[in-house]
Chains A and B, each alone.
Chain A
Amino acid sequence: MHFLKLILRNTLRHKLRSGLTVLGLVVAIIAFGLLRTVVDAWYAGAEGASSTRLITRNAISLVFPLPINYQERIRKVDGVSAISHASWFGGVYVSEKNFFPQFAVDAKTYFDLYPEYVIAPQEMKAFRADRKGCVIGRKLANTHGFKVGDTIPLRGTIYPGSWNFTIRAIYDGAESATDTSQFFFHWNYLNETMKKAVARRTDWIGVYVIQISDPDKAAEISDEVDAMFRNSLAETLTETEKAFQLGFVSMTEAIVIAIRIVSFVVIFIILAVMANTMAMTARERIREYATLKALGFGPCFLAGLIYGESLMIALAGAAIGIVLTFPVAAQFSEQVGTLFPVFGVSRETVYMQAAAAAAVGLAASVLPALRAARVPIVDGLRSIG
């Protein structure tokens, strides 16, 4: 009890110094949490992937399409329970900064493969009945204030022209990690339009989404699908949805690594600040530590005092920093719009923030504690604090 009292009072002894150190920690912990959340957001697609879905794309590159007639052949592969397809549209809503993913999908089958997209039955019916209709996610709707019945005009890039879609449904995510920033419309509408404009670009799709009944047979089924189209006009590459998503992440891996490094640099900087604070504190109190030693208190008691004070400052910074990370992350998510479809502070990030703060508290106190524990009493009593 006295030990804790002494730690608490020592912590509050230089309120400005302790306060500024805590403030520094708060900023560092928020920055660390935010950067970790950005990294998590990068992997959110892969994390939310289903183990029962495979993606088949053109083996050369994702930018090359696949013929629509592959669909029936793939459906016949043993272990395939359902199949649908999606094509990247890449349109621009008003300006490039309003980016959100847009896919032309098979309206009849696509959403059966994605039960995590929760759509009201009447809205789904309305969407399927309107070939110029579209389905958008809740986050996208909230970002731009869209509601059912509104028209979304898109300027085509891959598929030239002006495209207008009527919102027929807004889907919610079955889980918090579900991406609700997407836009889906009828592939049939796209295909028919292209038939009139550029005939050679008809009957092509971007990727096939394959539902399998047994995740353990994913590799086997993938091999079988790819073997079927070997030496064909458009060879395929089939992989699990998670591997497909991670393929996207790997394209920007350098950025992810840079963010990770910066997140640890932030912690290292605050460690240096904290270590300096604790070194100053311990240096000023050497005579008190020597007095305590003269009275019979051992080196462990002194080390405990310094470590306790350091940990108290670190944990105060961590507690405030962690609490503030949530509103800051929410604000950040709002600012970046649909760039990060899933952006939330995970429990793991909070644990990492707490662990980083505790590590900073411990590491910052090591040298001052050693010095206090080792200083000869006679030298300590002579020192001027």
Chain B
Amino acid sequence: MQRSPDLDNHSESPVHTEPPGEPVVHIRQLSKCYHRGGQIIPVLTNISFDIMHGEFIALMGPSGSGKSTLLNLIAGIDKPDSGLLKINGTDIAALSESELADWRAANVGFIFQFYNLMPVLTAFENVELPLLLTPLARDQRRRRVELALSMVGLRDRMEHYPSELSGGQQQRVAIARAIITDPALLVADEPTGDLDRSSANDILAMLERLNRELGKTIIMVTHDPHAAQSAHSIRHLEKGELELKKH
């Protein structure tokens, strides 16, 4: 399941590892409900849609609409109750926990609202973390981490701990960590939710650049209409049902 990352060959020209027009995310009749105190609460009901390779979509909706749940299902950190969920042709709902862990390591880059960096590791070490699951040698890892940190403009801060960085810088480290294994899919849950407007704009610009230049498929959950404008399309979730809005 592990991909062999090849960021070393990165250039300023766009990288598209898969032909445009192929669905990266293929969802049919997907449903998910939660059990709370003996009650069954439906969160997603018969959702069907595709996300094409290289798309940058924003998932919006009120609190409790199921957008984070949908993102978690696509990212392989939660499992649906029913329906079909294929990512790059893999039915991830059918994978075991350990297969899913390997799949995530190779195919998904995570960007969290609160960055979720390891406070005891430096920026360099945080970015290097996912590479510890690959067969890359130390020198190769170093080159890749330095490149990823250069791409997010933090090469000069790589020995700094998260507590020594601003929120925007921490999120940039998180982005570097998300792209370090060159995953096909980036999932971002409120990536600008904890940032001021200026830092938020920087992060959104960076995501746009990753989408445009590296061809990353990006799914972003956000409450912020301004942030959603960075995406190619916006999908609204309302009470577990989906509606599409292009712009």
Contacts and interface: CB of A to CB of B under 8 A. Distances in A.
A378 B78 CA distance: 7
Contact of B120 (A10, A292, A294): A10
B112 A381 contact: yes
Given A294-B110, A297-B101, A377 B132 contact: no
A377 B110 contact: no
A287 interface: yes
Interface string A296-312: 11100000000000000
Contacts of B98: 298
B171 to A, nearest CB: 14
Given A2-B129, A298-B101, 11 more contacts: A6-B118, A6-B120, A10-B120, A291-B118, A292-B118, A295-B105, A295-B129, A295-B130, A377-B72, A381-B112, A381-B116
Contacts of A298: 98, 101
Contacts, number: 57
Given A295-B129, A377-B77, A287 B116 contact: yes
Nearest to B110: A294
Nearest to B104: A296
A263 to B, nearest CB: 36
Interface residues of A, number: 20
B121 A378 contact: no
B133 A296 contact: yes
Interface class of chain A by DSSP: helix
Given A287-B116, A288-B116, A381-B116, A294 B75 contact: yes
Interface in B103-123: 104-106, 110, 112, 116, 118-121
Nearest to B141: A2
A73 interface: no
Contacts of A378: 72, 77-78
Contacts of A288: 116, 118-119
B101 A2 contact: no
Most buried by A among B102, B105, B177: B105
Nearest to A299: B97
28 contacts: A2-B129, A5-B125, A6-B118, A6-B121, A9-B121, A288-B119, A291-B110, A291-B112, A291-B116, A291-B118, A292-B129, A294-B75, A294-B77, A294-B110, A295-B105, A295-B110, A295-B133, A295-B177, A296-B104, A296-B106, A297-B133, A376-B78, A377-B72, A377-B77, A377-B78, A378-B77, A378-B78, A381-B116
